[in-house]
Structure 1
Amino acid sequence: MTETGTYVYAIAHGAGGPDPSGLEGVGGAPVRTIEHAGLVAYVSAVPLDRFGEEPLRRSLEDLDWVEATARAHHRVVEAVSEAVATAPVRLVTVYTGEEQVSALLERRHDDFAEVLSHVAGRREWGVKAYAGQPAGTPPSGGREQEGESPGTAYLKRRQASLHDRGTAWRHAATEAERVDAALSAVAVASRRHRPQDPELSGREEWMVLNGAYLVDDDLADEFVATLDTLRGRGLDLELTGPWAPYSFTDIDLGTAEAPDDV
């Protein structure tokens, strides 16, 4: 019989959370709760021959597996966060048993309580801003000044192209700062993530802003309206959310006390 570990999705207050009986976790496993010290962890059983420390390193090389696991993890976290203040736990956090999870809730109670208090009644919104890039270096064969070699003419065109790109980038970055400042004024907290490269974003334009904003539920309409006033000024603004507050609930659970936490 395959040994199992305890996969943790999220931590919430002990009251007000959803009934886990209707939730399905990674690998289709039923979700259950572990309650301790006024907190509740949403968990499911996972096979250690796939989620143990060494097998997991191999599993993480399978992108299809990672995507399916991330989707299942996200579904559970979102279901919990729609009902109660939630601290999502890092993807693929696995403990050897329920006793370890209870010990975690006891040991880090104050940290979790502080985070849950901060995100209560609030949700995360994401905003990405894209800027079009100027055309590349003009092809060779353009008009050359008298006595100018083709190589010199090319270098001049190259310099002009780089100048145009630099100017466009600075303008886009300035606009992105203005967008971030306006949205941060409505939000309770904000965080700038690293811009995604085109392979991940699926877009060829520059991503000049990848922001996350923690917004009071009763200010959500104001946040969206503020974003709409910023459109049409040279940036393509993409809004996502509302989400569970992934960007604002970072708690380092450590590894020494949880050997199967990856």
Structure 2
Amino acid sequence: MAQDTGLFIYGIVPSDVEPTPEAEGVGSPPGEVTAIRHGALAALVSEVGLAEPLGRPADLTAYETLLDGTVVVAPVLPVRFGTVVTGADAIDDLLDAHHDRFAAALAELEDRLQYLVHGRFDEQAFVSGLLDGNASAAALASQVRGRPEAESREQRIRLGEMISQAVELHREAENRELIDAVGGYAVANVVRPPSHELDAAKVAFLVAADDEDDFVRAVEEFAEQRRDLIRMRLRGPVAPYDFVSAHQLVE
């Protein structure tokens, strides 16, 4: 390998995993994905220029596509996006130093998949419900309705704060109810921080393959019960980003 190139590490997998010929790595042009094996483990890597900036949307998509495609056929420990080492010797050192811990983590993840349930409040429905049930908020809304923004600035700020507080309270409740409703079909869950001010629920679940159909059905039923207030999305199966990574294991 040339000195101006390094190896981008995607994840750690069992040693019998073989990248598909069509697998594309990060970079421009995309690097070829290969496996460097050590004992019972292998690292999925591709060559990148050390001076090449990584972090474009296409790079993150390539990283996730590779890992999410891998987890369908084999357990995988994601390595933090952007991890680059100088060569194969560094990969050998990593796998040798943490071989048993990586192998044990992969064994625990066998036949387990991550799903992400993400719900967002319909703004109009949420605010209407708040005004119907909160006289103070309704009074503020009446005071700002039809008035220029400059004249009702204080009232608008207070109303916005009340709406934000109400969203936070409802978000906590929705996350709890979501976990209560579908968590019985998962082996673990992690509540993610909101990515939008109107996020209603955002929870990652680790699901055993045998329970996958029941889990998806339970999520669909939960979403149907809230369809007038919350737009729910289910993403998965994906790699277990929220539950374990090679980076976490070596810290």
RMSD of the alignment, in Å? 3.1
Q: Is the alpha carbon distance of 1:139 and 1:91 closer, same or farther for their aligned partners in structure 2, counting shifts above 3 Å?
A: same
SS in 2 for 1:240: strand
1:6 matched to which residue of 2?
A: 7
Matched, 1:134 2:127: yes
2: CA distance between counterparts of 1:157 and 1:35?
Answer: 60
Q: Report the AA paired with residue 127 of structure 2.
A: P
Rate the CA distance shift 1:164–1:33 in 2: closer, same or farther, 3 A.
Answer: closer
Q: Residue deviations 1:189-230, cap 9 Å, x none?
A: 1111111025xxxxxxx1032111010111111001111221
Task: Report the residue type matching 1:240 in the other structure.
Answer: R
Over alpha carbons, which structure has the higher Rg? 1
* Structure 2 runs not aligned, ≥5 long: 129-136, 146-150
Q: What does residue 122 of structure 1 align with?
A: 112
When residues 163 and 7 of structure 1 are mapped into structure 2, their CA distance, relative to the original with a 3 A threshold, is closer
Verify the 8 A CA contact 1:175 1:235 in the aligned structure 2: no
Which residue, out of 26, 30, 37, partners 2:32? 30
Per the TM alignment, residue 162 of structure 1 is displaced from its structure 2 partner at its CA by 5.7
Residue 157 of structure 1, CA deviation: 9.0
- Seen in structure 2, the aligned counterparts of structure 1 residues 165 and 76 have a Cα distance that, compared at 3 Å, is closer
- Secondary structure of residue in 2 paired with 1:43: strand
Q: Which amino acid aligns with 1:88?
A: P
What's the secondary structure of 2:247's corresponding residue?
coil
TM superposition shift of 1:172: 4.7
Q: Helix, strand or coil for the counterpart of 1:26?
A: coil
Residues 43 and 156 from structure 1, CA distance in 2 versus in 1: closer, same or farther, beyond 3 angstroms?
closer
Structure 1 residues 244, 155: CA separation in 2 closer, same or farther (over 3 Å shift)? closer
Deviation of 1:165 after TM superposition, in Å, equals 6.2
Matched residue SS, 2:51: helix
Instruction: Specify the code of the residue in structure 2 equivalent to 1:99.
Output: D
Alignment of 1:159-238 (within 5 A): 166-167=165-166, 169-197=168-196, 206-231=198-223, 232-233=225-226, 234-238=229-233
> Does the 8 A contact of 2:186 with 2:207 survive in 1?
yes
What residue is the counterpart of 2:238 in the other structure?
243
Q: Does 2:48 match 1:46?
A: yes
- Aligned-residue sequence identity (percent) comes to 26
Q: Does 1:252 align with 2:247?
A: yes
Deviation string, structure 1 residues 106-142 (Cα, Å, up to 9, x no partner): 1011221122112110111000122234168426477
Once residues 244 and 66 of structure 1 are traced to their aligned partners in structure 2, the CA distance between those partners, rounded to angstroms, is 20
Distance in 2 of aligned mates of 1:167 and 1:72: 38
Q: Would you say 1:87 and 2:80 are equivalent positions?
A: no
Cα distance in 2 for residues equivalent to 1:33 and 1:160? 56
Using structure 1 for the length normalisation, give the TM-score.
0.75
Aligned to 1:49, what secondary structure does the other structure show? coil
1:203 aligns with none
Partner of 1:145: none
Note the C-alpha offset of 1:87: 0.9
CA separation of 1:20 and 1:32: change in aligned 2, threshold 3 A: farther
1:249 is displaced (CA, Å) by 1.7
Distance (Å, rounded) in 2 between the aligned partners of 1:159 and 1:49: 49
Give the secondary-structure state (helix, strand or coil) at the position aligned to 2:18.
Answer: coil
More displaced stretch, 244-253 vs 163-172: 163-172
